[in-house]
């Protein structure tokens, strides 16, 4: 989107993943989902946060979330 506006040797664009804090230019808006274990130990979604966070691909692969769309 705006990545081309930042020179390669300039300061970080400030686009940081709100889950791990890493700088990444492939952040996507998501809703964080918290899981809880039921009596059998199976994880199931317990709560979807209303706030939109921007996550990097690594966090989106590792942690439960729902796409926030655009």
- Identify each DSSP E strand in the chain by its residue range: 28-37, 43-55, 65-67
Of the candidate spans 5-13, 33-41, 51-59, 62-70, the one that interacts with Zn ion by CB under 5 A turns out to be 51-59
Distance, in Å, from the CA atom of 36 to the CA atom of 59, rounded to the nearest integer, reads 19
Question: Whose CB is nearest to Zn ion?
Answer: 17
**Which parts of 26-45 interact with Zn ion (CB under 5 A)?**
none
Quick check: 19 binds Zn ion (CB under 5 A)? yes
Distance, in Å, from the CA atom of 66 to the CA atom of 49, rounded to the nearest integer, reads 9
Of the candidate spans 14-22, 34-42, 45-53, 62-70, the one that interacts with Zn ion by CB under 5 A turns out to be 14-22
């Amino acid at each position: 989107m705006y990545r081309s506006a930042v020179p390669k040797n300039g300061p970080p664009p400030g686009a940081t993943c709100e889950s791990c804090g890493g700088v990444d230019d492939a952040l996507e808006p998501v809703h964080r989902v918290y899981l809880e274990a039921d009596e059998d130990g199976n994880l199931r979604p317990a709560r979807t946060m209303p706030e939109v966070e921007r996550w990097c691909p690594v966090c989106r692969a590792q942690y439960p979330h729902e796409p926030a769309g655009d």
